[in-house]
Structure 1
Amino acid sequence: MLPRLLVVTAVAAEAAAVLRGASGSPALPHAFVAEPRTLPGGYELTAVGPLDVVVAGVGPAAAAAATATALALALAPAPYDLVVSSGIAGGFAPVAPVGCAVIAEAIVAADLGAQTPDGFADVTALGFGRVRHACTGTDTVARTLRGAGIPAAVGPVLTVSTVTGSAERAAELLGRHPGAVAEAMEGFGVAEAAAGHALPVLELRTVSNPVGPRDRAAWRIGDALGALAAVYEKLPYATLVG
């Protein structure tokens, strides 16, 4: 039996890319009809095969609220096996260029903490909680995507509430989080909600722009959404949950 996934995206265009890719996957049954519905709170969710794809809104708080709502309602005919934060992201060059898939080995709240005279201290260092969630299925997903000709980078994916807009900020984040492959705005919220329901989590994105100086002309959102659809077409659904 295929695992049931709750896939959480920030915006409708990301959800559409996920659904488009999953609908073309030879690994999924095709005798299904997409079933859209509106959850309490106005969240749009579409069920397609073993995937429920919800549009949460931008940022970790919105992502946590939507994820918790979907999980609490238990809309799937069977319990979810995995929660996935998905969409597009900024990639740290050179390891995660535009168009690359990024797969989190950990989801990290990169700016949750306090500035101190000695620099930034995250909430774990301050004794207030956690800033990191380990992910499941990372190696399997990376191996499958690379085998299908989709470039994939594996490492921490950072959750930020303010998108990086300078080389200095990018360098600061990499200094605090060596090996980070991408930044996005929802993963940690999704992970917190999943942890509250004792469910494993994965963050899976495609890169639309480099992390660094803000240059909208260099963004390739359409290409990244196309890559996201390709990822969900090739995803190893049967082996995602160990």
Structure 2
Amino acid sequence: MKFGVVVFPGSNCDRDVAYVLQDILKQPTRLVWHQETEISDLDVIIIPGGFSYGDYLRCGAIAQFSPIMKAVQQHATQGKLVLGICNGFQILTEVGLLPGALIRNQNLHFICDRVPLKVENTASVWTETYHKQTVITLPIAHGEGRYFAEPDTLKQIEDNGQVLFRYCNQKGEITAESNPNGSLNNIAGITNKTGNVLGMMPHPERASDEVLGATDGLHLFQSVLSHKVGMANLAH
């Protein structure tokens, strides 16, 4: 499986993601400059966190017009995997690959912390190696991470099981107090209807190395690899 990590002017988590993929998981990975348009050789595209184009106008608003994003949309349409982390999640909503929007945090402050999350759905290529309802801890760092969607859209997301991660407390309880940014329904990460596109505000790549004493995020990347192996076995 070959991974591509998109690099925009202002991206600051691209190397972190590449390190996890190349050095920890030993997967072929290349950095994809935002002006590139040829990604047919890649199986998984990751849009990392950071401040693409300085987050002028609003987060992800300029990045959506980069040449690479048309290729990413085609990649997703073909059923290939796309992961957007933090700013990447914001960009995916801007181009319409994911429903809803990310708006200013409820307290209007930038938040940098480690937060507990409940894994809500393990019937996904992204979460196969997690246990359902498990509480994990991942870092967050954002000023516009408050998930918003119109009531009908929100209902569809919930009914379709598109919510993979939800902010909770250490006991796994979904409470207003455990919601760091005011996201509707405590949503931290969602997929599209077909499940091949995932956007999440927390940073799994920052919790994927034993040296850091945090590996809860590594399972997300391992799930993708496990799913690929499973599909290959079925083919035989």
State the TM-score, normalizing by the size of structure 1: 0.40
More strand by share: 1
Structure with the larger RCO, 1 or 2 (CA within 8 Å, 6+ apart): 1
* TM-score, normalised with respect to structure 2: 0.40
